[in-house]
Amino acid sequence: MRTKEKKSKHWLIALLCIIIILPITWILFNRFEGGDPSIKLDLLSQTIGASQELSISVADTKSGLRRVWIGLLQNGRETILLEKDFPAKGLISRGIKHEEALKVKIDPGESGIKDGKAILRIVASDYSWRRWFKGNLTYLEKNIIIDTKPPGINIISRFHNISQGGACLVIYKLSEQCDRSGVYVEENFFPGYSGHFQDKNILMAFFALNHKQEPVTKIFIEAIDSAGNTSKAGFNYNIKRKVFKKDVINISDKFLNWKMPEFDIYIPQPSELTIIDKFLKVNQDIRKDSYNKVIELAENTDKVLYWDGVFLRLPKSANKAGFADNRVYQYKNEIIDRQIHLGIDLASLAHSPVQAANKGKVVFAGSIGIYGKTVIIDHGFGLHSMYAHLSSYNVEEKQMVSKGEIIGITGITGLAGGDHLHYSILIHNTFVNPVEWWDKEWIKNNISSKIDDAKEN
């Protein structure tokens, strides 16, 4: 009997041990977990400017977040940017928060932080019982540079004469390399490019006025460095007002019956539009789409000045329509539409060979809405030439072409009423008057002399 009682007591003790020890073991195993908290820092640049907000996320999926500390260490001085403690559910429980997104503002001026090297330190701990119940600890340190000084802008080129619908070049020098700089013409930004001069801090920016912008237009240079510090600088410029001519175009049924079928690919079929409504859709909606397509293509430019000297025009050609002509469209003696002609129409013999106006890289060769078969050439630094209404072309995208090289044949594709070349020049996203680029003296006075003078500085 006694032996049985002893065995029963042993089993009872063993069972109690299991009931007590296993949960305790499970609790200790979990509470002494060794997974460190994670820290993610969204630091776009190593350089911190006059005021910058950092995005930081911390997480701990097991024990939960206990504490986050963020500070700057510079020359033995510690500046606390943020301290935050997170609550727990109970005395022996885990933390309530398992992840947190933080916004931390660094304002050197208010914090007494000086320009120069510093260390950004982030420390996060959790509710693990490790480290004598202080939790697992994660350190993240980043070497940064405090830079609160805006970049200096020195205008090198002296004369900046520009016409309505015209182009201009400004050359300037920055005190430091910047992430972004260029010319603002009102809200339109024209980027500056380095690389043409031996000094990488000397930049060139081609900019333009559209045909609507008059002498009151505001123009200035802006530079933003890697720390986000911004500088603006004005420069002397003179804007010449220009009056563009008006042109009346009579739309006939013969023209409509001849041309509109070409645009069926752009209009859902079957279409219940009358032929004149179809023309208006082409002249308005498809014209706008074609314009946007060209502007999109002209955003692609190489940081190389490919071209040299005066631009060529179609040999033995006459101007049939001018730049920024205000076109009035009439049908049966009634005005049905108004549009602006953003190029020059050049007519010679039918199917005349078309030359590349200057050296450059082909960025497009294909069909574009109202322009028909089109070639666009990038001449570098945001300058492009466009050749439209071609009957054919013999170049392809990314092909380098020489000045005077035959790239296509004139034609009547697109919204052309006769065989001719529609020729345009663009500066970045703005159509400008091609006549300037055919003028040797204009090129010399407004472009090449500025570049030559800058090389001497």
Amino acid 132 reads: W
- Cβ count near 457 (within 10 Å): 11
Q: Is 379 helix (H, G, I), strand (E, B) or coil?
A: strand
How many alpha carbons lie under 13 Å from residue 64 in its C-beta half-sphere? Answer: 15
CATH 2.60.40.10 region(s) of the chain? 153-242
The pLDDT of residue 11 is 62
Region label for 446, one of left (φ > 0), alpha (ψ between -120 and 50) or beta (otherwise): alpha
Average pLDDT value for residue range 233-237 = 96
CA distance 432 to 384: 10
CA distance 446 to 171: 11
Average pLDDT value for residue range 95-121 = 89
The answer to whether domain 153-242 has CATH 2.60.40.10 is yes
CA distance 72 to 143: 10
- DSSP-assigned beta bridge partners for residue 415: none
CATH 2.60.40.730 region(s) of the chain? 38-146
CA distance 443 to 156: 18
> Is residue 27 over pLDDT 80?
no
CATH 2.70.70.10 region(s) of the chain? 246-434
Lowest pLDDT segment from 19-23, 234-238, 239-243, 399-403: 19-23
Average pLDDT value for residue range 127-144 = 85
Lowest pLDDT segment from 32-46, 178-192, 247-261, 354-368: 32-46
Question: By CB neighbour count within 10 A (0-12 exposed, 13-18 middle, 19+ buried), where does 415 fall?
Answer: buried
Chain-centre distance for alpha carbon 234:
23
The pLDDT of residue 317 is 85
The pLDDT of residue 29 is 46
CB 37 within 8 A of CB 217: no
Which tens digit of pLDDT belongs to each residue from 79-97?
999 999 999 886 566 888 8
Q: Which CATH superfamily is domain 246-434 in?
A: Glucose Permease (Domain IIA) (2.70.70.10)
pTM of this structure = 0.84
The pLDDT of residue 103 is 92
With a pLDDT cut of 70, the percent of the chain lying above it is 92
Average pLDDT value for residue range 101-126 = 89
CA distance 59 to 72: 21
Lowest pLDDT segment from 114-118, 305-309, 393-397: 114-118
Kindly indicate the confidence band of residue 3, based on its pLDDT and cuts at 50, 70 and 90.
Answer: low
> Is residue 448 over pLDDT 70?
yes
Higher pLDDT among residues 207 and 31, named by residue: 207
With a pLDDT cut of 90, the percent of the chain lying above it is 74
The pLDDT of residue 62 is 86
CB 196 within 8 A of CB 204: yes
The pLDDT of residue 7 is 57
CA distance 284 to 312: 31
> Is residue 115 over pLDDT 70?
yes
Report DSSP letters for 230-259, one per residue.
Answer: EEEE----EEEP--PPEEEEEE-HHHHHHH
> Is residue 232 over pLDDT 70?
yes
- Cβ count near 169 (within 10 Å): 22
Average pLDDT value for residue range 180-184 = 97
The pLDDT of residue 397 is 97
CA distance 380 to 208: 15
In the block, residue with structure tokens 């220009």: 242
The pLDDT of residue 319 is 85
Question: For all residues of the chain together, what is the average pLDDT?
Answer: 91
- DSSP-assigned beta bridge partners for residue 103: 55
The pLDDT of residue 10 is 59
The pLDDT of residue 76 is 85
The pLDDT of residue 415 is 96
Q: CATH for 38-146, among 2.60.40.730, 3.40.1550.10, 1.10.20.60, 3.40.50.150?
A: 2.60.40.730
CB 357 within 8 A of CB 439: no
Kindly indicate the confidence band of residue 16, based on its pLDDT and cuts at 50, 70 and 90.
Answer: low
Q: Could you tell me where the beta strands, DSSP code E, fall in 93-177?
A: 99-106, 116-126, 137-146, 153-155, 161-163, 167-174
> Is residue 281 over pLDDT 90?
yes
Average pLDDT value for residue range 9-14 = 61
The pLDDT of residue 337 is 97
